Amino acid sequence: MQNNISFDRSMIPLTEPCKTLSVNWEELEHDAKALARQLLQIGSWKRIVAVTRGGLVPTAIIARALDIRLIETVCVIGYQPNDYNPQQANQTRIIKAPAHVSDGEGWLVVDDLVDTGQTVRALRQLMPEAHFAAIYAKPLGRPLLDTHVSEVSQDTWIYFPWESAQMEPMTMPKK
């Protein structure tokens, strides 16, 4: 089932990435556990929504740390088809909404990063009562989050471990 909620980012002033930050698996695990500790201070969570694809790994770590068994996904496209080229899509598309989440009350929504905030804006339309958390936040998106661990400048592109050359999709054309 495709959900046609979208957010047009044409009104957001963007800075092209000029700095990069590579996060390895150990750093990601450390930061995801730090986010879990912050979330534990806020309340007792029993339900979590992973924002695909970037939020899948942090969600798994946080769900394990907080002993959350009920996990849903929301599938979002916020970048151009080539995720390895730092260009956001003009619109964020929700291609699969989470099941049984309703307005999001009592749900924790986890992503790896909030950049301009376009994904969070689109998801807040879908789940206005949910608690939104991300490991990393950039200045344009940070005010839209409820909880985050680290801030990076707007002109920094973060490379996550699954974006390394060893993790390219098997469907990528051979060079």
- DSSP, collapsed to helix, strand or coil, labels residue 120 as helix
Task: Determine phi and psi for 116, rounding to 5 degrees.
Answer: -85, -15
Question: Which residues, including other chains, have CB under 8 Å from residue 93's CB and lie 6 or more apart?
Answer: 4, 5, 6, 76, 77, 78
Q: Which of 67, 103, 115, 146 is catalytic?
A: 115
146 labelled catalytic: no
DSSP state of 81: S
Closest CA to 110 of 21, 33, 23: 33
* Residue 8 known to be catalytic: no
Per annotation, catalytic residue among 67, 112, 146, 155: 112
Neighbours of 5 (CB within 10 A): 16
Cβ–Cβ under 8 Å, residues 131 and 125:
no
The C-alpha atoms of residue 127 and residue 98 are separated, in whole angstroms, by 10
Whether 103 sits among the annotated catalytic residues: the reply is no
- Rounded to 10 degrees, the C-alpha dihedral 34/19/88/8 comes to 80
Q: Active-site positions?
A: 111-112, 115
